[in-house]
Amino acid sequence: MKKLTQEVNDFLYRSMDSHVRIAVTGLSRAGKTAFITSMVNQLLHTSTHDNLPLLKSAREKRIVGAKRVPQHNMMVPRFAYDDAMEQLHAHPPEWPIPTRDVSEIRLALKYKPKQRHKKILSPTSTLHIDIIDYPGEWLLDLPLLNMDFEEWSNSQIEALKGQRKELAGEWLTQLETLDLDAEADEKKLEHISSVYTKYLHGCKEVGLHWVQPGRFVLPGDLAGAPVLQFFPCITGSNSKPKKNSNLEMLSKRYSEYQEKVVKAFYKQYFSTFDRQLVLVDCLSPLNASHEAFNDMSVALEQIMHSFRYGRSGLLKRLFSPKIDKILFAATKADHVTPEQHSNLVSLLQQLVHPAWQNAAFENIEMNCIAMASIQATTAGFISDGEATIPAIQGSTLEGEPMTLFPGEVPQKLPNSDYWEKSGFEFSNFAPKAKVDYAPIEHTRMDKALEYIIGDKLK
Ligand SMILES: Nc1nc2c(ncn2[C@@H]2O[C@H](COP(=O)(O)OP(=O)(O)OP(=O)(O)O)[C@@H](O)[C@H]2O)c(=O)[nH]1
Ligand SMILES: [Mg+2]
């Protein structure tokens, strides 16, 4: 009965346009958890502080207040907002820890509506906002849904160039010892899978993003399960796997992984979103290497390709919500001096160009911004007596002060010259020390929120 009431309530919220589900997507370390933490924090403070001037409803003093409320899905852990805040309050302040599993949070935002039909019902309305957090690695599995085992294997083998080829050495040696047609040997497959997983971890360590299957490096409660024990191999075209062979077992496990792990996750979370935020950290790969940058761009392109967009009509929204607005955001913008922000935006625009065209065709509204969810630096200028140059100032993770000009952000997708000539210096800053009761300092969180939920607060 309780479940039914909940479902009826959800249905009503939705039909009244008072419910929005936001997909915060991004590769691992893109800044999803930081964004969600800041979003919750900003909204909880907006009735008492002027922290979101670019959110129109806040500027017009129409936000009455916000609170966290029990979420819809009771099988999913609650987003660890309090833990994240505790980390930000530490001495010296720390970043929230990397996400290992999926979690959810629901906010109720009470506001004074301007629209007549809402005012007739009550002087205040409530918008329910659902946000899901998950490890970025899992997103990398979405493209697997478009590929069979052979196609996937080929794509992985073809990618073995440069650093990847070096890192894959041990796995490739092991692969040579495997007879694909021989009777399935579970022990051997388990061993080679573990060597393959080691290779994926190695890729991550050198800053390469395209790590598939993503669950191998962050298995959650699937650790040790046979569904995570397969790896790409050279299958040889048009050969149907022999019955009970190693190849048949690998291919079966891949299909099982597609169905039970990837599809299940996608269906449960991503098919019901209304709005999507795509967070991209352009700066860490710029700092890492040309290869890391290209790798990130390929991963991003693959992922954007797997999202299917469609216009959300009212009926569609009631029964099968579809994404109708996307915001692409370059995160960690406080790592560069403010005059570089426009370059950062145009770099991001180029990175997501194919997805942008596709979404435009589907009449989906889109925007691109540069932002910092949790500000770690202060922008200013340094002078050597003659010239004055822009700089940023913050604290290292150990709490030591640090001032630097990190470099220029290229306006276009850079070629190898960029890394040879100038490159980019990305040093990790600790988040700014938090003042009790004050909202987290940010750059353009309000612009992001206005874009994502502004129209729902009219
Ligand atoms: N300076 C600065 N650094 C940030 C900001 N947001 C995130 N970071 C840095 O990026 C790291 C990753 O941020 P997370 O929010 O944990 O990234 P995520 O996308 O949740 O990563 P996974 O959970 O691993 O998928 C943080 O530990 C910070 O070092 C920001 O607004 N400013
Ligand atoms: Mg996270």
- pLDDT tens-digit readout, 234-258: 877 656 888 999 999 999 999 999 9
121 lies in the same domain as 154? no
- Identify which ligand lies nearest to the alpha carbon of 429: 1
Each residue of 28-58: pLDDT tens digit?
Answer: 999 999 999 999 999 999 999 999 999 999 9
pLDDT score, position 319: 40
pLDDT score, position 129: 96
Instruction: Report whether 369 contacts 352 (CB < 8 A).
Output: no
Before 92, cis peptide (omega within 30)? Answer: yes
Query: Phi and psi dihedrals of 322, rounded to 5?
Result: -130, 150
Mean pLDDT throughout 126-147? 90
In the predicted model, is pLDDT for residue 314 greater than 50? no
Mean pLDDT value across the chain = 88
Q: Give the structural domain span for 190.
A: 142-265
Instruction: Report whether 408 contacts 347 (CB < 8 A).
Output: no
Instruction: Report whether 413 contacts 350 (CB < 8 A).
Output: yes
Domain assignment of residue 14, yes or no = yes
256 lies in the same domain as 348? no
Bridge partner residues of 278 (DSSP): 25, 328
Domain assignment of residue 429, yes or no = no
At 7, is the pLDDT very low, low, confident or very high (cuts 50, 70, 90)?
A: low
Tell me the best of 24, 95, 205, 281 to mutate to test the pocket of ligand 1, counting ligand atoms within 8 Å of each CB and taking the most.
95
Among 248, 265, 282, residue at a domain's last position: 265
Instruction: Find the 364 Cα to ligand 2 centroid distance in Å.
Output: 26
| Distance from C-alpha of 76 to C-alpha of 191, rounded to nearest angstrom | 32
In the predicted model, is pLDDT for residue 14 greater than 60? no
Atom of ligand 1 nearest to the CA of 373: 31
Higher per-residue pLDDT: 109 or 143: 109
- The CATH number of whichever domain residue 135 belongs to comes to 3.40.50.300
Domain assignment of residue 396, yes or no = no
Mean pLDDT throughout 287-309? 83
Helices marked H in 90-181 — which ranges? 116-121, 136-139, 149-158, 162-167, 169-176
pLDDT score, position 9: 62
Let me know if 383 is exposed, middle or buried by CB neighbors in 10 A (0-12, 13-18, 19+). exposed
In the predicted model, is pLDDT for residue 261 greater than 70? yes
Instruction: Report whether 413 contacts 292 (CB < 8 A).
Output: no
201 lies in the same domain as 93? no
Range from 3-12, 65-74, 160-169 carrying the lowest mean pLDDT = 3-12
In the predicted model, is pLDDT for residue 313 greater than 60? no
What are the tokens at 154?
């080929």
256 lies in the same domain as 109? no
In the predicted model, is pLDDT for residue 327 greater than 90? yes
Distance of CA 27 to the CA centre of its chain: 5
Domain assignment of residue 390, yes or no = no
- Identify which ligand lies nearest to the alpha carbon of 218: 1
In the predicted model, is pLDDT for residue 196 greater than 80? yes
C-beta of 441 in contact with ligand 1 (< 6 A)? no
C-beta of 139 in contact with ligand 1 (< 6 A)? no
Tell me the best of 32, 303, 371, 425 to mutate to test the pocket of ligand 1, counting ligand atoms within 8 Å of each CB and taking the most.
32
What lies within 8 Å, CB to CB, of 162 at 6+ separation is 291
Domain assignment of residue 388, yes or no = no
| Cα–Cα nearest to 83, from 124, 146, 133, 148 | 133
Instruction: Report whether 279 contacts 31 (CB < 8 A).
Output: yes
Cα 64 to Cα 42, 113, 123, distances in angstroms: 13, 10, 11
Report the range out of 11-15, 130-134, 197-201, 398-402 with the highest average pLDDT.
197-201
Domain assignment of residue 401, yes or no = no
Token pair 């970043």 is found at 95
Tell me the best of 24, 29, 35 to mutate to test the pocket of ligand 1, counting ligand atoms within 8 Å of each CB and taking the most.
29
Question: DSSP state, 192?
Answer: H
Protein residue with least CA distance to atom 5, ligand 1: 332
Percentages (nearest 5) of helix, strand, coil residues in the chain? 45, 15, 35
Helix (H) or strand (E) holding 33, with range, is helix 32-45
Among 219, 242, 265, residue at a domain's last position: 265
Instruction: Report whether 405 contacts 422 (CB < 8 A).
Output: no
| Cα–Cα nearest to 130, from 13, 15, 265, 47 | 13
What are the tokens at 260?
């039970």
What are the tokens at 181?
């047609």
Q: Mapping DSSP to helix (H, G, I), strand (E, B) and coil, where does residue 426 land? A: coil
247 lies in the same domain as 292? no
Before 401, cis peptide (omega within 30)? Answer: no
C-beta of 34 in contact with ligand 1 (< 6 A)? yes
Atom of ligand 1 nearest to the CA of 279: 19
- Identify which ligand lies nearest to the alpha carbon of 32: 1
When divided into structural domains, the chain yields a total of: 2
Interstrand relation of 388-395 and 401-404 (parallel, antiparallel or unpaired): antiparallel
Protein residue with least CA distance to atom 30, ligand 1: 332
Instruction: Find the 101 Cα to ligand 1 centroid distance in Å.
Output: 16
Each residue of 446-457: pLDDT tens digit?
Answer: 999 999 999 999
Mean pLDDT throughout 15-19? 72
| Distance from C-alpha of 359 to C-alpha of 308, rounded to nearest angstrom | 9
C-beta of 31 in contact with ligand 1 (< 6 A)? yes
90 lies in the same domain as 180? no
Mean pLDDT throughout 109-128? 86
C-beta of 209 in contact with ligand 1 (< 6 A)? no
Domain assignment of residue 444, yes or no = yes
Instruction: Find the 35 Cα to ligand 1 centroid distance in Å.
Output: 8
At 316, is the pLDDT very low, low, confident or very high (cuts 50, 70, 90)?
A: very low
Domain assignment of residue 382, yes or no = no
Protein residue with least CA distance to atom 7, ligand 1: 31
Range from 160-174, 259-273, 309-323, 357-371 carrying the lowest mean pLDDT = 309-323
| Cα–Cα nearest to 266, from 87, 432, 138 | 138
Instruction: Find the 31 Cα to ligand 1 centroid distance in Å.
Output: 4
| Cα–Cα nearest to 18, from 130, 127, 129, 118 | 127
106 lies in the same domain as 20? yes
Other residues' Cβ atoms within 10 Å of the Cβ of residue 362: 13
Protein residue with least CA distance to atom 4, ligand 1: 332
Range from 307-316, 339-348, 377-386, 430-439 carrying the lowest mean pLDDT = 307-316
What are the tokens at 370?
């540069």
C-beta of 99 in contact with ligand 1 (< 6 A)? yes
In the predicted model, is pLDDT for residue 302 greater than 50? yes
C-beta of 372 in contact with ligand 1 (< 6 A)? yes
| Distance from C-alpha of 262 to C-alpha of 275, rounded to nearest angstrom | 21
Each residue of 82-107: pLDDT tens digit?
Answer: 999 999 999 889 999 999 989 999 99
| Distance from C-alpha of 281 to C-alpha of 370, rounded to nearest angstrom | 10
117 lies in the same domain as 212? no
Protein residue with least CA distance to atom 12, ligand 1: 29
Among 217, 236, 265, residue at a domain's last position: 265
Instruction: Find the 26 Cα to ligand 2 centroid distance in Å.
Output: 9
At 120, is the pLDDT very low, low, confident or very high (cuts 50, 70, 90)?
A: confident
84 lies in the same domain as 34? yes
324 lies in the same domain as 448? yes
187 lies in the same domain as 84? no
In the predicted model, is pLDDT for residue 8 greater than 70? no
198 lies in the same domain as 286? no
In the predicted model, is pLDDT for residue 13 greater than 70? no
